[in-house]
Amino acid sequence: MAGSITSVSGKSKLNLSRRKFVVVVAEWNEDVTEALYQGAHHALLSLGAKKNNIIRRNVPGSFELPLMAQWSAEKKSIDAVICIGCVVQGDTPHFDYICQAVANGIMNVNLMTNKPVAFGVLTTLNKKQALDRAGGKYGNKGEEAAVTVVKMLESREQRD
């Protein structure tokens, strides 16, 4: 998802008005994840999704994102899932284990369900870096995650 996306402009090539999205939000580091969620939600609406078709699911922390993403993506009515979380490095290797598990879990949900599942999880060295990526000087990575799932849906349509 890294790139130069700073804001959403234009509509999707697809009609998103009937597409359903789940945004799974970790409650840990809530000030950051709420800002990321707002970015994702705004981006989906800007791209043409309907408010009633954007479903929010909260989980305690980033480690729980993959399971809720899987439960959500397994539903036929859901077109894509966006995972929102924030893991800030501490003094122990716990950070490394959580980040690796979450990244692998989300990737596996993509492959198992054959649906776009975005990794909107910040893995930062400190809280300032997280805030810089949650609407600060580096944009909003939640917005980028929403754009990513829409682009993947568009790619899938072109493939079929």
- Could you tell me the pLDDT band of residue 141, with boundaries at 50, 70 and 90? very high
Does residue 6 fall inside a structural domain? no
CATH code at position 54: 3.40.50.960
Does residue 67 fall inside a structural domain? yes
pTM: 0.91
Q: Which domain holds residue 59?
A: 26-154
- In SS3 terms, the chain reads as CCCCCCCCCCCCCCCHHHCCEEEEEECCCHHHHHHHHHHHHHHHHHCCCCHHHEEEEEECCHHHHHHHHHHHHCCCCCCEEEEEEEEECCCCCHHHHHHHHHHHHHHHHHHHHCCCEEEEEEEECCHHHHHHCEEECCEEHHHHHHHHHHHHHHHHHHHC
Q: Give me the number of domains the chain comprises.
A: 1
Active site amino acids = 94
Does residue 1 fall inside a structural domain? no
In tens, the pLDDT along 30-77 reads 999 999 999 999 999 999 999 999 999 999 999 999 999 999 999 999
